[in-house]
């Protein structure tokens, strides 16, 4: 038996016209609150060991700033009772939550800029929820459950079918079977006191994009509604102060909207309050399956989780990882590169969130191809950056690179080169560059946290960013044989954990250069890099703690305080909302 506790805390952020995180749209601004946003935490202790803590926030993502600030406060309060490696911070990925919480510059551009009161509020909620969960620990039974959505439940569709069908390890699906081109299982941990289900953790991958960028209120979207509905049901059935975490698994290529013939017409027919009703219904599908799977208490020891907890955490610089040929189709010199965004990233997705118009996207592709051709031409052989360009394009493969986030270049030029009148986001980038706000600051994170949590015979791979269905499946298949050697029976994946770095596709999906591939920043071997690194972490977990040799010192570069202050521009908010 474990000692476990759980709690939730409302995130106290007032809507003041800042852009929300997720769609990257300048006009997608918060003018009110449709639902409250929460931090939900579950604390699990076994054999008086350092507790494992899982906290999920109703946000579009977790940033390194959110994690570092929460860890700092928890370490100060709990001391040796808190272990950073045993703390998982994840997000529901609602696209209707606050932005402006990143120390890196790029994904704060629409907000515009860094919003310290947002970071303070979400950090306070995280710490409060974790401390309340820690203080409420009592004897608790934990059971594992796995439920399957029936084929006719309209909960999710694959939004990148052509990319998905490129994978040799999937059953190719025709256009009318996009709802089957994904993992329709929901994996769950149920927490029981006195035989009664009182808290749960759900892992199922589907984007929290039921609500469009036409709406202007904070909202938890489908995952938030699922949690709300499950908690209400548990309370009505006698569970005191229940907590239901509906976290993400392989959501990268999974949409809550129909994808197939006439998909845009069906999406555009859902407007106004109907969008909220759609999110509520999608959440109900998820809460219903979770409760049906876990309640009543599973019979027999087969589903009971037993055994010690464990954890391992390592930060890895993904800008240059030499990939194990085992995961790179036998290629001996496969490696990642500095982060780059492709033209498909700016084009967005056709149903969940459209980006730049098709005509502009075509111009971007042509311009990116011209830059590439020049950099790889014989005339550049003696250029000081010739070797760098060779390595960059070998890693990035077919991606038409528009933004070199690592070197801060856009189509080969300085960030402030494009005229600001073209787009308000370009204008904001020009303003920040000219103010000296991103000279030494990274645009996106490159040093990323990789984490494995063990709860008895359950292992949780905690990954930053968004994994597609098949990418996540392959990562699990990489780690499972290793962890079976220490008695692990189930390896699960939780995404959007601890920081945010875009997408992870398979090598085959990447070649399509749909949105997901264009947003896989470190190139076509990104998944292979994750497999390489997680394999090494899993091997360390087979050893006693004192004998483990993994990097525990690498951390992201500290962002200069004066540059962060220059990006904290409340003055630009007025012009953004007028």
Residue 522 has pLDDT above 70, yes or no: yes
- Average of pLDDT values for 435-460? 96
Tell me the DSSP string of 7-45.
Answer: EEEE------SPBEESS--TT-B--EESS--EEEEEEEE
How many angstroms separate the CA atoms of 488 and 467, rounded?
Answer: 22
HSE value, Cβ hemisphere, 13 Å, CA-based, for 216: 12
**How far apart (Å, rounded) are the C-alpha atoms in residues 102 and 261?**
38
Q: Is the pLDDT of residue 152 over 70?
A: yes
- pLDDT at position 575, please? 43
pLDDT of 572: 46
Q: How many CA atoms lie within 13 A of 238 on its CB side?
A: 7
**What's the pLDDT tens digit per position in 567-576?**
996 544 444 4
Terminus-to-terminus CA distance in the chain, angstroms?
57
Residue 250 has pLDDT above 70, yes or no: yes
Residue that has been written with the tokens 């996106």 in this structure? 444
Taking residues 551-576, report their average pLDDT. 80
Answer for the pair 148, 285: CB distance below 8 angstroms, yes or no.
Answer: no
d(C-alpha 162, C-alpha 168), whole Å: 12
Question: pLDDT at position 301, please?
Answer: 58
**Phi, psi of 310, deg, nearest 5:** -160, 165
The pLDDT, as a whole number, for residue 300 is 63
Q: Give residue-wise pLDDT tens across range 80-124.
A: 999 999 999 999 999 999 999 999 999 999 999 999 999 999 999
pLDDT tens string 340-355: 999 999 999 999 998 9
Buried b (16+ CB within 10 A) or exposed e, 119-149: bebbbbbbbbbbbbbbebbeebbbbbbebeb
Q: Give pTM, 2 decimals.
A: 0.96
Going by pLDDT thresholds of 50, 70 and 90, the confidence category of residue 578 is: very low
Task: Quick: pLDDT tens for 465-482.
Answer: 999 999 999 999 999 999
């Amino acid at each position: 038996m474990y000692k476990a506790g759980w709690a939730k805390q409302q995130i106290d952020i007032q809507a003041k016209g800042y852009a929300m995180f997720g769609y990257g749209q300048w006009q997608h601004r918060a003018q009110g609150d449709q639902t409250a946003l929460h931090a939900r935490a579950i604390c699990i202790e076994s054999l008086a060991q350092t507790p494992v803590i899982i906290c999920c926030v109703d946000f579009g993502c977790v940033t390194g700033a959110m994690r570092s600030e929460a860890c700092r406060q928890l370490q100060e309060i709990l001391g040796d009772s808190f272990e950073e490696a045993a703390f998982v911070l994840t997000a529901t990925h609602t696209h209707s939550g606050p932005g402006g919480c990143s120390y890196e510059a790029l994904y704060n551009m629409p907000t515009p800029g860094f919003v310290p009161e947002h970071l303070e509020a979400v950090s306070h909620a995280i710490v409060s929820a974790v401390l309340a969960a820690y203080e409420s620990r009592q004897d608790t039974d934990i059971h594992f459950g796995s439920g399957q959505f029936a084929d006719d439940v309209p909960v999710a569709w694959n939004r990148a079918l052509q990319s998905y069908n490129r994978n040799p390890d999937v059953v190719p699906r025709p256009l009318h079977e996009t709802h089957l081109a994904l993992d329709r299982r929901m994996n769950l941990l149920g927490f029981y006191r006195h035989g009664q289900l009182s808290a749960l953790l759900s892992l199922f991958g589907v984007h929290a994009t039921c609500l469009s960028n036409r709406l202007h209120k904070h909202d938890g979207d489908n995952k938030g509604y699922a949690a709300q509905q499950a908690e209400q049901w548990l309370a009505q059935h006698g569970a005191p102060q229940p907590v239901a975490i509906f976290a993400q698994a392989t959501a990268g290529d999974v949409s809550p909207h129909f994808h197939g013939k006439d998909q845009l017409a069906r999406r555009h027919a859902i407007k106004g309050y109907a969008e909220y009703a759609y999110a509520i219904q999608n959440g109900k599908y998820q809460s219903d399956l979770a409760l049906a799977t876990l309640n009543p208490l599973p019979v027999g020891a087969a589903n009971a989780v037993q055994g010690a907890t464990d954890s391992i955490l390592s930060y890895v610089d993904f800008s240059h990882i030499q990939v194990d040929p085992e995961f790179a189709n036998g290629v001996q010199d496969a490696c990642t590169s500095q982060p780059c965004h492709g033209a498909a990233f700016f084009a967005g997705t056709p149903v969940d969130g459209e980006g730049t118009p098709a005509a502009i996207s075509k111009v971007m592709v042509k311009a990116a191809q011209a830059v590439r051709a020049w950099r790889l031409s014989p005339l550049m052989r003696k250029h000081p950056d010739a070797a760098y360009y060779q390595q960059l394009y070998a890693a990035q493969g077919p991606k038409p690179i528009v933004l070199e986030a690592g070197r801060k270049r856009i189509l080969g030029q300085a960030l402030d080169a494009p005229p600001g009148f073209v787009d308000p986001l370009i204008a904001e980038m020009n303003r920040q560059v000219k103010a000296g706000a991103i000279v030494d600051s990274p645009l996106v994170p490159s040093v990323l946290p990789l984490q494995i949590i063990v709860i008895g015979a359950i292992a949780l791979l905690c990954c930053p960013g968004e994994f597609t269905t098949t990418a996540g499946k392959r990562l699990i298949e990489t780690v499972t044989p290793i962890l079976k050697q220490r008695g692990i029976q189930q390896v699960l994946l939780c995404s959007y954990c601890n920081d945010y770095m875009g997408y992870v596709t398979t090598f085959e999906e990447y070649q399509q250069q749909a949105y997901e591939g264009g947003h896989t920043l470190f190139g076509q071997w990104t998944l292979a890099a994750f497999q390489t690194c997680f394999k090494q972490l899993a091997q360390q977990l087979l050893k006693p703690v004192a004998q483990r040799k993994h990097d525990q010192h690498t951390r992201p570069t500290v962002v200069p305080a004066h540059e962060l202050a220059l990006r904290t521009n409340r003055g630009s908010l007025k012009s953004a909302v007028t």
